[in-house]
Structure 1
Amino acid sequence: MIEKVKTFMKEHQLLEANSNVLVGVSGGPDSMALLHFFSIIREVWNLNVIAVTVDHQLRGEESLDDLAYVRQMCDQWNIQFVGTSLDVPSYKKEKQMGTQEAARNLRYGFFEKQMKSFDADVLALGHHGDDQIETVIMALARTADPGALSGIPVKRDFANGMIIRPFLCTTKDELEAYCVQQQIIPRRDPSNDETVYTRNFFRKQLLPLLKDRNPNIHNTVQHLSEVLQEDERFLLDEAAEMVQENVKMDHELNKISFDSTVFSSFPYSLQRRAYHLILNYLYKKWPKNLSYVHEQQFFDLLHRTSGNTHIDFPYNLKLNNMYGTFVLFFPEEQPEAPSVPAVMEIPSETNWYNGTITACYTDDPGEQSEMSYACGKEEVALPLHVRTRRNGDRMCWKGLQGSKKLKDIFIDAKVPLTERDKWPVVVDNNGTVLWLVGLKKRIPEVQREYDTYIQLKFEKRNSQEGQHA
């Protein structure tokens, strides 16, 4: 077994001579075999080996005995030892997470500190081929993400170095036999025999059936894992480039937008990975209830070619496809639009949720813009009002036969649904719509000179995505 592991390490370039090596040790057969293996090769490779051990405070005195056992074996093998006790039960309660997740978070946090403290090059962990099979089967049972099916990586970046797993080429039985051969009497965790944990269920119920069909399945799955990981790395790099070149990220507002047509023009495999990269950027913590169903909803929304449509994701993430512009964002708290009309005295300033409307009299309104409106004082019924749209609102202007619904004007202008109920509408005292701010103005068929004009101007406070007014 030793020669097989050495060959595996060289093939995957897991370790260089003269390295500082941390070995994660629990006291069980896998990690004790790993620690012994490094004690054998350390002189030839000129390695500085340090054992790091964690008591998770889950099994009382028994787990403390595990810690003491590892310390004792390190003394016997002349290996430096670093151990700690971590309060997993309290952390689990505080963070409201499962036991396994809480233990892993604290354990890896401790490992990271030790990596930096010893300026270690690698952290070696004792995962073996059976672990790899279990991981792939578990992923197959609970996810449709191809990346998860690639299993446990042989090596990956961690802290200031790498995590390596030299035993992925071995089986559990081989490691047990190695312990017997080297006269190692490991500690046993009784929870490993309980099928209440998902991994233990697969280990006890399914793995023996697969090995019965194919005793060499650990090598088959390891080869599959490495191939999938290589493919996934390439596709993720391509997807990252796609996102960088075609997706706009607003870091301040934690918002992402892109052109739906351009996004859809890439191969579907890149679109899927870009989708996951985008969510990884937006979510600080991945929602547990986010599934492949949401992915399907994302792509259904992406391929809608007309209209203004939206869906909601967990944690109040909003996805809008606004006439070909796809936007993902967390809505900010904004002042509500006035629920009743605001009377516009002249002169006056009227505050709106996203700006201010000023009104004054003038004898020369001059040239007008989208954000201004002028009319003769005698044309309208005073006082003027500003309000939001109402069902049945219509307006007319010069050259238009009849009138048009405000709803249709919004659609033609591709105004987002989220903005339409906040949009300022200026009406006179008879309810005649004079100005749909920034979009349309009521201009009489017959225009004439007036001694006094009413001049309105709208000044925005903030620019909003997809907003015209």
Structure 2
Amino acid sequence: MEPIFQFLQRVQKFITENHLLAAGENILVAVSGGAYSVVLFTCLQQLSAKMQFNPAIAHFNHNLRGEESDGDEEFVAKFANDAGVPFFAGRGDVEAHAQKQKMSIEDAARELRYQFLENICQAHHFDRVATGHNADDQAETVLLNLIRGAGWKGLGGIPVQRGNVIRPLLFAYRIEIETVAKVAGLQFRTDRSNFSLEYRRNSIRHRLIPLIKKEHNPNIIASLVHFSQIFREGEEYFREQAKIMFDRCLKVKDADKIILEIECFSGYFTILRKYVLFYMFDLVGLPAGSVSFSRISEMLSLIDRGRTGGFVTVAGEWRLGVDHAGIVFFRRKRWEPVDLPLKPGRSLVIPPRKIKLTTVVLNPDAVVFSGEKTVEYCDADKIGTSIFRVRSIKPGDWFVPLGVNFRQKVSDFFIDHKIPEHIRPQMLVLTNGENIIWLIGYRLDQRFKITDETKKVIKFEISDELSE
């Protein structure tokens, strides 16, 4: 039993060195019924008293092999019962999910399986999920990602820990784990689908790697594991540097936009700029892999040109563009058109902008110019005291901006005055009939300003600015 004892010591050392478990934690062990997950649980159960954690077993039935799948579930249920630990079972229709989400069977099975494990963790207060991935899995993943054309993160392979998911056997080769199972007399199930060459990973496992071992490098598994470590360390470095760079270049950050200083951003190496973009995507919750390499290159090209007004669709409603504020990463909201009446002396709340527009009729001697963009004064006799309207900007809208004596399209005013592209869709105008009185929050129409001859004034005031 000496090999088993030595293997247990290595598992414990790997857990300790990588800070995978803490005393008092509840650990949900994902057990398929195969040799690797059975050995994983057996090792963790042996270490649980010494390391002071509490293991349980979860099994997800993918319903891909009919009675064999059900047999796996029954085997794991008995295995958990014999071990005297809690058991949680789940199942899903992988084929239907793959078809609905337009993904491969492998990806659909993985997604449903991890959803199940996470649901069990939340419902039953488990701190960690342990899976039986090993060094051979790591090598296959790296090779698979290399063939796909992955970047640093993909070439780093399977992380030892991601979120609450840990891989305590990632250091061990399959042959070692199989030897432990044999020497310990452990029973396990064999999944026939692991030998089907229809699946990409199996083709790499049973065809490509044996070919490389035979004709090029008999130690290819170890080489790929080492390769993954180099790239994983590089990935960690670039991610940390990207956070530092992001903080240095940051101008504005809120729920709907991030603005970076373009000169600061452009002063870094290309690879760091890419990592800053990925860091921004993470901040707003865009899924990993949702932005392609070509899309990233398109964004960097746009930024390098430095031309204002252009933008790139990142994913969903998120856009990245360059304007006079800098590099703007923003959520392009679909603002519903506004067209609301406003009576003189009344107030109007404009949803969903949360803007309150108030009107007050004054004598000229009560006017106090503050320079605030949220307040404007108009000659009441010039604009009339009938009902005004607050509406969205329409194509072709024009007015005579205060300070000039010619009419100008609102769209041209935006360009001339460097109004950020990302806020234009939400801007509003105040009108009386066909005339724009006020581009709200920005400029009064010259025709309606107060003069020495003004006898009555209407004051317009908004609660918040529309711009940053």
Do they superpose with TM above 0.5? Answer: yes
User: Partner of 1:166: helix, strand, or coil?
Assistant: coil
More moved, 107-116 vs 317-326:
107-116
Alignment partners' CA distance in 2, 1:124 and 1:192: 21
The Cα RMSD (Å) is 4.6
Contact 1:257-1:325 within 8 A present in 2 as well: yes
* Residues 78-93 of structure 1 mapped to structure 2, 5 A cutoff: 79-89=83-93
1:390–1:316 distance in 2 versus 1, CA, 3 Å: closer
Corresponding residue for residue 155 of structure 2: 149
Q: Is the 8 A contact 2:260 2:328 kept in 1?
A: yes
Contact between 1:91 and 1:102, CA under 8 Å: does it hold in 2? no
Of stretches 457-466 and 273-282 in structure 1, the one that deviates more from structure 2 is 457-466
Amino acid at match of 1:89: D
- For 1:318, the equivalent position in structure 2 comes to 319
- Counting only pairs closer than 5 Å after superposition, residues 53-132 of structure 1 correspond to structure 2 as 53-56=58-61, 58=63, 59-70=65-76, 79-89=83-93, 98-107=108-117, 109-110=119-120, 116=126, 125-132=131-138
Report if the CA contact (8 A) 2:441-2:466 is conserved. Answer: no
Distance 1:124 1:363, change over 3 A: closer
- Once the two structures are superposed, the pairs formed by residues 214-225 of structure 1 within 5 Å of their partners are 214-225=217-228
Give 1:373's aligned amino acid: Y
The farther-off stretch of 420-429 and 79-88 is 420-429
Counterpart among 274, 277, 296 of residue 275 in structure 1: 277
- Cα shift readout 1:302-331 (whole Å, capped 9, x = no counterpart): 335342333333332233433133333435
1:94 deviation in Å? Answer: 12
Partners of 1:197 and 1:294 lie apart in 2 by 28
Letter in 1 for 2:199: Y
Are the counterparts in 2 of residues 24 and 123 from structure 1 also a CA contact under 8 Å? yes
Structure 1 position 147, deviation (Å): 1.1
State the 1:135 CA deviation: 0.8
Cα offset, 1:109, TM superposition: 4.4
Checking the alignment, whether the CA contact within 8 Å between 2:314 and 2:320 is kept in structure 1 is: yes
Q: Distance in 2 between matches of 1:463 and 1:91?
A: 51
Q: CA offset at residue 422 of structure 1?
A: 5.9
Q: Does 1:302 align with 2:303?
A: yes
Give the Cα–Cα distance (whole angstroms) in 2 for the partners of residues 394 and 49 of structure 1.
72
Pick one of 377, 387, 402 that aligns with 1:373.
377
Distance in structure 2 (CA, Å) of the matches to 1:177 and 1:327:
56
Are the aligned partners of 1:49 and 1:80 in contact in 2 as well (CA < 8 Å)? no
Query: 1:391 maps to what in 2?
Result: 396
**Cα distance in 2, alignment partners of residues 443 and 45 from structure 1:** 82
Match of 1:210 among 205, 209, 212: 212
Deviation track 1:161-200 (CA, whole Å, cap 9, x = no partner) reads x724335341x34544554555555311122122333322
Query: What is the rounded CA distance, in whole Å, between the counterparts of 1:73 and 1:103 in structure 2?
Result: 19
Counterpart position of 2:267: 265
For residues 357 and 6 of structure 1, do their structure 2 counterparts lie closer, same or farther at Cα, with a shift above 3 Å needed?
A: same
Q: How does 1:307-456 map to 2 (within 5 A)?
A: 307-332=308-333, 334-338=335-339, 354-356=355-357, 358=359, 360=361, 362-364=363-365, 366-368=367-369, 369=371, 370=373, 371-375=375-379, 377=381, 388=393, 391=396, 393=398, 395=400, 400=404, 404-417=408-421, 419-420=423-424, 423-425=427-429, 435-441=438-444, 449-450=452-453, 452-453=455-456, 455-456=457-458
Equivalent of residue 238 in structure 1, options 241, 259, 276? 241
Offset from partner CA, 1:357-399 (integer Å, 9 cap, x none): 636463546343443133484x67997966646537353665x
CA distance in 1 between partners of 2:463 and 2:67 (Å): 64
TM superposition shift of 1:224: 1.9
CA deviation vs aligned residue, 1:39-87 (integer Å, no higher than 9, x gap): 8x75996887856251516245434433454566678xx8444433212
SS in 2 for 1:66: helix
1:140 to 136, 146, 154: 146
Superposition deviation, residue 336 in structure 1 = 1.9
Instruction: Give the CA deviation at 1:288.
Output: 6.6
Deviation at 1:131, TM superposition (A): 0.8
CA deviations over 1:239-287 (Å, ceiling 9, x no partner): 234445554432xx4543333333333443333223222222212x627
Number of the residue aligned with 2:104: none
**C-alpha displacement at 1:298, in angstroms?**
3.2
CA contact (8 A) 1:51 1:79 kept: no
User: Which amino acid in 2 is paired with 1:168?
Assistant: F
Matched, 1:187 2:189: yes
SS at match of 2:281: helix
CA contact (8 A) 1:319 1:327 kept: yes
1:450, distance to aligned residue in structure 2 (A): 1.8
Which moves more between the two structures, 388-397 or 196-205? 388-397
Deviates more, 1:435-444 or 1:27-36: 435-444
Q: Which whole-Å deviations, capped at 9, do the CAs of 1:3-54 have from their partners, x for residues lacking one?
A: 5785586477258999987754333232344456668x75996887856251
2:105: which partner in 1?
A: none
Q: Compute the TM-score of the two structures, normalised by the length of structure 1.
A: 0.74
Does residue 31 in structure 1 map to residue 37 in structure 2?
yes
Contact 2:362 2:459 in 1 (8 A): no
SS in 1 for 2:310: strand
Which among 196, 199, 224 is matched to residue 197 of structure 1? Answer: 199
Q: How does 1:277-292 map to 2 (within 5 A)?
A: 277-283=279-285, 286=287, 289-292=290-293
Residues 202-211 or 326-335, more deviating: 326-335
**Structure 1 residues 114 and 231 mapped into 2: Cα distance closer, same or farther (>3 Å)?**
farther
1:460 maps to amino acid: I
> Quick one: which amino acid aligns to residue 144 of structure 2?
M
Match of 2:462 in 1: 460
1:151 offset after TM fit, Å? 0.8
Q: Matched residues in 2 for 1:62 and 1:356: separation?
A: 68
